[in-house]
Amino acid sequence: MSTSPRVTRSGTDLAYIGRVLRVVSVADFKLKYADSALGYVWSVAKPLAYFAVLYAVFGRFFKLNLGFEHYPVYLLVGIVLWTFFLDTTNLSLFSFVGNGPLLKKLAFPRIILPVSATVTTLLTFGVNLLVLLFFIAADGIEPRAAWLAIPPLLVELYLFTLAVSVILATLLARMRDIGQVWEVGAQLLFYASPIIYPVGFLPHWAQAVAFANPFVQTMQDIRAVIVPQTEAITVADVYGSAAAYIVPLTTLAIVLLIAFLTYKHEEPYLAELT
C-alpha cells in the first residue's frame, strides 16, 4: 500500500509537494540529456530534423506546398505540437515503473511523477516555441490580436496530453505490454492526424472523426490563428458550426475522467506493482 503525503494542520503540505515536483522535474530534464555531446541542443535539433525531412519529402517531392502559402510554418506548427505530445507521453510512460524505489521510500502524491514529466517536456516545448516564432517572423507573418487565443489552446493541449500520460503510466504499472501498444498507437495517430498534409485531403467523414481528437482540434485552431488561410480548416468548418467544439471538448472531458478514475483505482497499489 502507498504512503499518504505529508499532512499539516492546514492540510497537504503544498510546499513539500512543490519541492518534490521541482526536484523530480529538474532531475528528469538533466537525465534526458545526460552524457549527450550536444546536450540541450537536441531539444531544438529533433523537431527541426523532422521538419527538414518531412518538408523535403512532402513539400518538395509531393508538392504539398504548391498553392499553399506558408506551408513551412503550417508544417512546423504541427511538428512542434506533436513533438511535445509524443515526448511527454513517452517520458511519462515509465514515471511509475521507473521510480519504484522512490514510491516505496518517500511519502508524496504519486501523481507528481507523471506531472513532473510534463513539466520536463514543457521546458523543451518553450524552447521550441521560440524557434517557431523565429520561423514565423522569417516567413513574414505579423502578430495579430487573434494570437491571444493561442495560450488557452495550449492549455487545452496540455490537459489532453497530461490525461493521456497519466492513463499510460498507470496502466503500464499493471500491464507492461502497454509500452509496445503505445509505440504502435502513436505511429498510427501521427499519420491519422493532419500534421503533414492539409485536412482538406481527407474525405469529409474522416475530417469529422479526426476533429473528435483534441490534439487535432487545438493544432488546427493554432494554425488557423497563425496562418489564416483555407488550408487551416477548423472544427467549425468541418461541422458547419462553432457549437461543434463540444465534440473535441467532450472527448477531452472523457479522457480526463478516465485518467482520474484509472489513477484513483490503481494509486494504492503502485508501489507494490513497481
Facing residues of 7 across strands?
A: 12
**Best CA proximity match to 237, nearest among 253, 221, 252, 226:** 221
| Residue the block writes with cell 508544417 | 75
Q: Side-chain half-sphere of 30: how many Cα atoms within 13 Å?
A: 6
Q: Give the total residue count for the chain.
A: 274
What integer pLDDT is reported at residue 2 of this predicted model? 43
What integer pLDDT is reported at residue 270 of this predicted model? 85
What integer pLDDT is reported at residue 43 of this predicted model? 65
Report the first-to-last Cα separation within the chain, whole angstroms.
12
How far apart are alpha carbons 256 and 127 in whole angstroms? 27
In the chain (274 residues long), the average pLDDT of successive 10-residue segments reads 44 64 67 56 72 75 69 90 94 86 77 87 88 88 91 97 96 92 94 89 92 96 85 87 95 97 91 77
What integer pLDDT is reported at residue 273 of this predicted model? 75
Domain ranges of the chain: 7-273
How far apart are alpha carbons 176 and 155 in whole angstroms? 30
What integer pLDDT is reported at residue 188 of this predicted model? 94
How far apart are alpha carbons 252 and 47 in whole angstroms? 26
